[in-house]
Structure 1
């Protein structure tokens, strides 16, 4: 299983804090995001933004970062500083 966590505005927009997904069809961060976007229009809008940040096992990840069974994937909107 892959644990997917949603933070900040993503959590509010999707109405979801955490999901557990089978790891069998997911090989990369990009594939995970694509699969999540099939859940509906809100998911497409929220996760289709190229600026969404992703961490795998608490390390920043890129679209081609591998994802496997037992991994924790966190998705959060871009942050701004000031």
Structure 2
């Protein structure tokens, strides 16, 4: 079971900040994970469609091709900017 965390406007669009999901065996990369989550419902689809979205796997920045496994923590958040 994978733990998903949603921050800022991602959380607002989905409606909650955390969920645990059992992913199908064929979902093994961040890109496949996003595709699967978007297929769950309209809120996930809208929130995860933004190409500026950032992802961290186990608290480390991740790319779309990053491998995921059961028991990972995957966080979605908007780009971070500072000054």
Same fold (TM over 0.5): yes
Find the counterpart in structure 2 of residue 49 from structure 1: 50
* CA–CA distance in structure 2, aligned partners of residues 3 and 26 of structure 1: 14
The answer to whether the 8 Å contact 2:55/2:63 transfers is yes
Question: 1:51-70, aligned counterparts within 5 Å?
Answer: 51-70=52-71
Any idea what the Cα deviations from partners look like across 1:42-77, whole Å, max 9, x if unmatched? Answer: 322211111100000000000000010110000011
* CA–CA distance in structure 2, aligned partners of residues 80 and 39 of structure 1: 30
Q: CA deviation at 1:25?
A: 3.4
**SS of 1:39 mapped into structure 2:** coil
Count of aligned pairs: 82
Gaps of 5+ in 2: none
4+ long deviations beyond 3 Å:
none
TM-score computed with the length of structure 1 as normaliser: 0.89
* CA–CA distance in structure 1, aligned partners of residues 52 and 27 of structure 2: 21
Cα root mean square deviation, aligned: 1.3
